[in-house]
Amino acid sequence: MFWTAGTPVVTIVAMKLLDYTTESGFIPNIKCGDVAAAVSRLVEGLAADGQVIDSTALVDEIMRREEEGSTAIGGGLVIPHARSKNVQQVRVAVATLADPIPVPAEDDRPVDVVILLVGPDGDPRLMLRVLARLARLVKHSSFLDSLREAESAEDLRAVFSQLD
């Protein structure tokens, strides 16, 4: 907030999703048989960029959250997420799947896009803001279609950079 002529002016800074990603957090066309394998690959990507303290424990926490209730939201998308002491910052990682996998969802469409969201224990506000932004984006099939069309990590990253 800053002041102009005695009146407070609120500036709203747009959230840039790309700021919550890492170079190794974009993985196109992976082959895996289930969500756990996709989550494991995405966590490996985050770990490669130094974003994860204990990869195995983080995957376990994410999958424990997934067992409480599937994060498949339909349209071929699942957004596994968890807060954990094994990450220090909110991070987003994205994978497209070479072959769709069956995951319980309202529309029964197999999953072919996985967007992983992790954040540190404690204050969940930022993570919830990122999740809300993702939820708004995925309502537009063009966003998911752009992810599906990406042939490289750079292409996936470009989809996110175009959002900002």
Locate the domains of the chain by residue range. 16-161
Of 125, 135, 49, the C-alpha closest to 87 is 49
Of 31, 36, 39, the C-alpha closest to 117 is 39
Cα–Cα distance between 110 and 101 in angstroms, integer? 5
Architecture per CATH, domain 16-161, reads as 3-Layer(aba) Sandwich (3.40)
Average the pLDDT over each of 17-21, 143-147, 160-164 and give the range with the smallest value.
160-164
Of 94, 98, 148, 92, the C-alpha closest to 119 is 92
| Residue 136: predicted pLDDT | 87
In this model, does residue 69 exceed pLDDT 60?
A: yes
